[in-house]
Chains A and B, each alone.
Chain A
Amino acid sequence: MTSTPRTLFDKIWDDHVVVAEADSPAVLYIDLHLIHEVTSPQAFEGLRRRGLRVRRPHQTVATIDHSIPTTPPEVPIADPQAARQIAQIEVNCRAFGIPLHGIGSATRGIVHVIGPELGLTQPGMTIVCGDSHTSTHGAFGALAFGIGTSEVEHVLATQCLLQRKPRTCQVFIAGYLRKGVTAKDLILGLIAQIGSGGGTGYVFEYAGPAIRALSMEERMTVCNMSIEAGARAGMIAPDDTTFEYLADRPYAPKGAAWDAALQRWRALPSDPEARFDHTITLDATRLEPMITYGTNPAMAIPITGSVPDPADVPDLGERQAREKALRYMGLRPGQPLLGHPVDVVFIGSCTNGRLSDLRQAAHMLRGRRVKAGVRVLVVPGSQSVKRAAEAEGLDRIFREAGAEWRESGCSMCIAMNGDQLQPGQYAVSTSNRNFEGRQGPGGRTFLASPLTAAAAAITGVVTDPRTLLE
């Protein structure tokens, strides 16, 4: 190996190249393959057609999250298509010997929540899943990215992927977040700055004091939404925060294996002289709570701001996209969002459905009431998150405030499971996408942090959470 300074990404890439890139793309080895019910059935169908087995079933792990209802477990699945899809992954996991954290399992949950909480996600790994928010796992200093179903089949069959080496981009976040400003606001602020295609072709490495100060759960929120800027992946160098999180997790190394792993992991951060293909900087101290006004996550503004006028956008395509977005959202240029009525509040998803997110929302809602006429869904990211939240009484705070406390899953983030907006409704949502119809046909989404979502639940209108924090 040369002594050329390398980035975190370079080190992981080099360590996983089975066949080097030439005329053909590199053959890249995958350490951990996560699968779920929606993007895997056609891949298993392909394996069967070719008479192939799963090469490494014990480097593969399955769960059920997208189409599963968040109603109590004893309620049967009403949607026959969802029931069939869920039955199919059960059949496939049995047939191919893949561990499944399925219905009734205490460890079931959103795939990007359970990987980290079980300690399956570890620094230096390559991790893929047929889901774009696989970038979440990059928070541990892993190279993690979303793939299509054909690639799911490739990894099942060969534990490898054909990949061209992406370019690297350092995203340097200077300063520190102020009170009431969260990791969600940080990533929305970044995406608003660079656009929803601003990261295309790149792997992001987030760095700087604001990133170092984040907890693992906050880092996951940041890395999770890398894909909303088009980035292939988002990564954060592992440090003591990472190691403290991982220690004693069920699937994390133990004893001497832990010590050996720690030694490898400490060598992962980018070398001081390592060069990135591109660098972006953002000042955390200038960030405010952010909220989206349009139909992609880049259409975001500080919550005290007003809706930008599409006429001010020089690029024709972008201008038309913004005009279309405002028509869909029923908003006017120059209009403030503060005070805008809200019908539904959704707190959950792989972006903001972990324990610390629920704690923030509960902190805001403690001793307060949900505004009459507003529906509030609180959906833990996993059954483990649900149990942990219940152990500290968060479920009681939510219920007493008038919110619904539900079983875990993707729920209203993707609206495949019956949890959805009605046409025309407005939601403040802690999820990751405000695309047209994402939360139900005709539904209109304002993306924001759990604090901002909880504030809207109390007032019934878009509210600056800082005004409700003591």
Chain B
Amino acid sequence: MQPFTRITSRVVALLIDNIDTDQIIPARFLKTIHKEGLGQHLFADWRYDPDGRPKPDFPLNRPEARAAHILLVGDNFGCGSSREHAAWALTDFGFRAVISTSFADIFRNNALKNGLLPVVVDAATHRQIGAMVAADPSTVLTLDLAEQSLTLPDGQSVRFPIDAFNQRCLLEGLDELGYLLKQAPLIEAYEAAHPARVDTRMMEE
């Protein structure tokens, strides 16, 4: 996993509440058996017209979105399906962080496992950033994960919460599976004390 330490970037704003993972990556793109290449389909049904041409007024299609690594979205982002393809599509497009007032649980977990930082801010800060980006699309924010700080262009800084374990994994680019594999002796001990509650092997038909 790519480590996340500090980024300074422009912001793309999609200020809609309850953006579900079917919008982030529609289901017809889930027939792939790989993680790569999903960025081209990110927000496909909002971003392209039915003939596949980019809609010029959609925020991701504006020139200032090109080099943006931060996405600003409405409340309860990533609700719905558990598809990790949503996180893969966002990172493949180039996003490193998403700012919202809240995230759906499964999306947040998926984002953290892919080096995509979910940043939760209060409603007032969210409104303020939204207004700044609307007034000046070249507005640049800085996210510092070690400091848990979001810094606005005027130098104002707000602190955002993050689980200490997730913070360490992101800062060092560690993946959770490596950590879990090290628990093998304890997992073996658990299994020795708790016989399997089910055996899924096929029955005689």
Instruction: Tell me which residues across on chain A come within 8 A of B75, comparing CB atoms.
Output: 197, 317-318
Is the pair A435, B80 in contact by a Cβ cutoff of 8 Å? yes
B16 an interface residue at 8 Å Cβ cutoff? yes
Asked if A356 CB lies within 8 Å of chain B CBs, one says: no
Identity of the chain A residue whose Cβ is nearest the Cβ of B165 in the assembled complex = A24
Smallest distance from the beta carbon of A424 to chain B beta carbons, Å?
Answer: 11
- Which chain B residues have a beta carbon within 8 Å of chain A's beta carbons? 15-18, 20, 22-23, 26-28, 30-35, 45, 50, 74-76, 79-84, 87, 102, 104-106, 109-110, 113-114, 163-165, 175-177, 179-181, 183-184, 186-187, 190-191, 194, 196-203, 205
**Distance from B203 Cβ to chain A, minimum over Cβ atoms (Å):** 6
Q: A39-B84, A88-B33 are in contact. Are A59 and B22 (CB under 8 A)?
A: no
Residues of A near B184 (CB, < 8 A) are 158
Is B198 a contact partner of A120 (Cβ separation < 8 A)? yes
- For the complex formed, measure the closest distance between the CB of B129 and the CB atoms of chain A, giving whole angstroms: 13
Query: Is A10 at the interface (CB under 8 A from chain B)?
Result: no
Is B187 touching A435 in the complex (CB atoms < 8 A)? no
In the complex with contacts A24-B179, A58-B196, A438-B27, A318-B186 CB distance below 8 A:
no
Given A158-B184, A162-B176; A296-B79 close (CB under 8 Å): yes
- 0/1 per residue, A397-436, Cβ < 8 Å to B? 0000000000000000011100000010000000001011
A406 to B181, CA, bound (A): 44
Interface string of A53-83 (1 = CB under 8 A from B): 0011111110000110000000000010110
Which chain B residue lies CB-closest to A151? Answer: B109
Residue of B nearest to A97 (CB): B201
Q: Which of A18, A196, A250, A437 contacts B45 (CB 8 A)?
A: A437
Report B-chain residues with C-beta under 8 Å of the C-beta of A149.
84, 110
Within 8 A of B (CB), among A20-47: 23-25, 27, 29, 31-32, 38-39, 41-42, 45-46
Q: Which residues of B contact A235 (CB under 8 A)?
A: none
| A55–B31 CA distance with the chains assembled, in angstroms | 26
Closest B residue by C-beta to A166? B105
Smallest CB gap from B110: residue in A: A148
Please indicate the chain A residues that have their CB under 8 angstroms from the CB of B104 in the complex.
Answer: 197, 200, 230
Residues of B within 8 A of A423 (CB): 50
Determine if A130 is an interface residue (Cβ-Cβ < 8 Å): yes
In contact, A154 and B201 (Cβ under 8 angstroms): no
Given contacts A162-B179, A321-B16, A433-B20, 13 further A-B contacts (CB under 8 A): A85-B31, A122-B197, A125-B198, A149-B110, A154-B180, A158-B184, A166-B105, A227-B80, A230-B104, A296-B79, A321-B18, A416-B28, A437-B26
CB distance from B65 to the nearest CB of A (A): 20
A196 and B30 alpha carbons, distance in the complex (Å): 23
CB distance from A75 to the nearest CB of B (A): 18
Q: Which residues of A contact B30 (CB under 8 A)?
A: 38-39, 66-67, 416
Known: A148-B110, A317-B74. A99 touches B33 (CB 8 A): no
Interface centre among B50, B105, B114 (most CB of A within 10 A): B105
A433 touches B22 (CB 8 A): yes
Residue in contact with A158 in the complex, picked from B50, B80, B187, CB distance below 8 Å: B187
Tell me the bound Cα distance from A415 to B28 in angstroms. 7
Q: What are 12 A-to-B residue pairs whose CB atoms are below 8 Å?
A: A24-B165, A31-B196, A58-B199, A59-B196, A148-B84, A196-B76, A197-B104, A250-B203, A315-B17, A435-B22, A436-B23, A441-B50
Against B, the Cβ 8 Å flags (1 = close, 0 = not) of A281-321 are 00000000000000010100000000000000001011011
Residue of A nearest to B28 (CB): A416
Which residue in A46, A84, A131 is a CB contact (below 8 Å) of B33? A84
- A147 sits at the interface (CB 8 A): yes
Q: Is A201 interfacial (CB 8 A cutoff)?
A: yes
Contact A164 B196, beta carbon cutoff 8 Å: no
Q: Which residues of B contact A31 (CB under 8 A)?
A: 196-198
B199 to chain A, nearest CB (A): 5
Chain A residues numbered 92-139 whose CB sits less than 8 Å from any CB in chain B? 98-99, 106, 120, 122, 124-125, 130-132
Task: Answer whether residue A13 sits at the interface, using C-beta atoms and an 8 A cutoff.
Answer: no
